[in-house]
Amino acid sequence: MSTLKTLAGIVAVALAGNAPTAAGPGAVPGFSPHDAIDLLSAGNLRFAQGRPEHRNTQLTRLADTAGAERPIATVLACADSRVPVERLFDRGIGDIFTIRVFGNLVGPDTTGSIEYAVSELSTPVVVVLGHRGCGAIRAAANPSGIAGSLRPMIDRIAPSVQEARASHGTGLAANDEAVRLNVYAQIERLITRSPIVAQAARSGQVIVTGAIYDIATGQIDWLGQHPNQSSVLAGTPLTTAPIAQATPASPNLAPITASAPASPPPVSTISQFTNPASALDQPGTPTAAATPNTAAVTTAPVAPVIQPFRFSTRPGQANRRPATTPETDTDSTSIDVPRRRFVNVPTRDDD
């Protein structure tokens, strides 16, 4: 029965490509937030292994998306030129609703953009994407001489840098920890200041998750939901409230000592993003009961804080390859990941 439901969901998503509506895949029965995360994870795996398929980058995709957009995810990323969002997820035109800003900060403009994607496009996943070697983190560690419009942005990152330095000292470990804490801080800021996003997360319509991109290896470390997701959601209002932007005074911090990046870690087969198998075996199941990432913030110095790239298929995942429109993979040594055709358009380059 679960196989029939899965195939029905795939057909529904494919048919949505021809429907004259702007509804996103999250509104299509059978396409859950976990399915969207699967697509992003599989795409990054291909990218990091040097075998991208350049999904949905053909000229024919322009005509397919000219009438409406149906992105599979919303990604809030840093404006760093080394973080090409669509490329690192091996996705193409119309696949990702991308928002980029210095330090992947949540503010009135970025919050409004995310609310549009969630409420109008029904994107089932919101990813707050930080990255290693972030210039915003380094600037927040040594803000002297920074003025103009950049200074208030730096001040909003400074608390994460302070907390990281308090538990990890200086160096690469503190830098990595500050990146992680800043991702969680922006998730909390988004949920607490956006009743629209909070209600979508509370109902299971959307998953708000953190992730960190390694600019040296191309790999993404999935952090999962906010460690205190339940309490963050419990403190959010149910009615629309004005979004205020605080600008706390910046601390006088010493610069974080630069160090050489670590060598690329080997690909592991352990998943950090924990989801119940039932949500995978029964597409369309409400995700409100999904197990949150409740790992406590480490207080003892540990280096590096950001764990190596981890990816695996959840129980039953490898057996969910569609029986129709199969895609061949010439790399017999690669990890078997699910392949789906999204909105009924070519998923490989013509050549």
Give whole-number Cα distances, 346 to 39, 135, 239, 320, in Å. 15, 37, 42, 20
Of 56 and 328, more confident: 56
Where is mean pLDDT largest: 10-24, 222-236, 291-305? 222-236
- Per DSSP, what are the bridge partners of residue 125? 207
pTM value is: 0.65
Choice among 19-28, 113-122, 132-141, 321-330 with the minimum mean pLDDT: 321-330
* Banded model confidence at residue 228, pLDDT cuts 50, 70, 90: very high
What's the half-sphere exposure (Cβ side, CA atoms, 13 Å) at 339?
16
**Among 265, 189, 281, 199, which Cα is nearest to 234's?**
199
pLDDT at site 24: 67
Encoded tokens for 274: 């924990």
How much is the average pLDDT of 293-312? 42
pLDDT at site 5: 44
d(CA 165, CA 332): 45
Inform me whether the pLDDT recorded for 329 exceeds 90. no
- pLDDT tens digit sequence for 37-55: 999 999 999 999 999 999 9
**Among 124, 180, 207, which Cα is nearest to 305's?**
180
The mean pLDDT value of the chain amounts to: 73
- pLDDT tens digit sequence for 169-190: 888 999 999 999 999 999 999 9
Return the C-alpha torsion angle 65, 66, 69, 72, nearest 10: 20
Of 350 and 39, more confident: 39
Residue whose tokens read 């010439």: 330
Preceding peptide of 322 cis, ω within 30°? no
Q: Across 115-184, where does the E strand assignment appear?
A: 125-131
Encoded tokens for 10: 């795939």
φ, ψ of residue 49 to 5 degrees: the values are -90, 0
Encoded tokens for 149: 């419009």
Q: Across the chain, where does the E strand assignment appear?
A: 73-77, 96-100, 125-131, 207-213, 220-224
- C-alpha dihedral sign at 169, 172, 176, 182: positive
Give whole-number Cα distances, 221 to 12, 36, 301, 311, in Å. 31, 16, 20, 9
Encoded tokens for 218: 């191309």
Inform me whether the pLDDT recorded for 95 exceeds 80. yes
d(CA 37, CA 100): 19
The number of beta carbons lying within 10 Å of the beta carbon of residue 223 is 25
Of 259 and 224, more confident: 224
* Banded model confidence at residue 23, pLDDT cuts 50, 70, 90: low
